[in-house]
Amino acid sequence: MNEKIREMTKKERYTIDDLLEIMVILRSPEGCPWDREQTHRSIRRDLIEETYEVAEAIDRGDPTALCEELGDLLLQVVFHSRISEENGEFTFADAVDGVCRKMILRHPHVFGDVTADTTDEVLKNWDSIKRGEKNLRSSAEELDAVAHTLPSLMRAAKLSSKCKKLGVPTGAPECSSSDEELPGALFAAAARAKELGLDPEKLLSDYCDSLIAGVRD
């Protein structure tokens, strides 16, 4: 064990710089064979699982678990950033710089001269700035910008919200279920799909794709 690695084991409290250094060590020839072999693709599922574990800690109202799970999620960010740095693409510092610039740009009511006294005004400004950043010139492009990898129900909810803002018809039938009945209706729709030998997740995903394709046409 070299001196640098030995010193890393003696600290009383660690910082983000230590986490970055630990990842460098793990990916080095003196580090861990498993960590060295990983790619963005091979640890993609880990990132998703850690995100859900953070959400579960929030749902449970467990701050101790939330602290731990946020650390695990941060590890995934550092891991991916290290892989990209080794590939000559970007560094963790680049990712931090980028998100800081994004937050300043998207909050002109805080860091600029724009006035936004309500949440609705803030969100309206946010959407407008985001469209400009991503050069979204049409409704189809804005709908297509919603992540395709989201769970289908989450994606459908986000698309329906965007469609409402954009005045785009969804083609979906009106739902008359009340707040109390709606969860059962969703469950029944999923159950009916399975009875027909269909995958409800894929069905809804395909519907989202067809909605965007119809707007594009």
Q: How confident is the model at residue 1, as a pLDDT?
A: 56
Average confidence (pLDDT) over 124-137:
84
In the predicted structure, residue 90 carries a pLDDT above the cut 90: yes
Which one is predicted more confidently, 128 or 50? 50
Hey, how many other C-beta atoms are within 10 angstroms of the C-beta on 142? 22
Average confidence (pLDDT) over 28-50:
96
Instruction: Give the three-state DSSP class for 1.
Output: coil
Hey, how many other C-beta atoms are within 10 angstroms of the C-beta on 201? 13
Is 121 among the domain residues? Answer: no
**pTM (two decimals):** 0.81
Average pLDDT, the chain: 92
Question: pLDDT tens digits, residue range 168-201?
Answer: 888 888 877 788 888 999 999 999 999 999 999 9
List b or e across 102-116, with b for residues whose CB sees 16 or more CB atoms inside 10 angstroms: eeeebbbeeeeeeeb
Contacts of 30 (CB under 8 A, 6+ apart): 2, 5
Q: How confident is the model at residue 128, as a pLDDT?
A: 86
Q: Distances from the Cα of 77 to the Cαs of 19, 21, 102, 107, in angstroms?
A: 11, 14, 17, 24
83 and 8: one domain? yes
In the predicted structure, residue 130 carries a pLDDT above the cut 90: no
Is 99 among the domain residues? Answer: no
Could you list the residue range(s) of the whole structural domain that residue 190 is in?
Answer: 139-216
Dist CA 85 CA 142 (whole Å): 30
Q: How confident is the model at residue 4, as a pLDDT?
A: 79
Is 189 among the domain residues? Answer: yes
Is 124 among the domain residues? Answer: no
Question: pLDDT tens digits, residue range 63-88?
Answer: 999 999 999 999 999 999 999 999 99
Is 109 among the domain residues? Answer: no
Is 62 among the domain residues? Answer: yes
Nearest alpha-carbon partner for 91 in 107, 75, 104, 80: 80
In the predicted structure, residue 217 carries a pLDDT above the cut 70: no
7 and 87: one domain? yes
Is 22 among the domain residues? Answer: yes
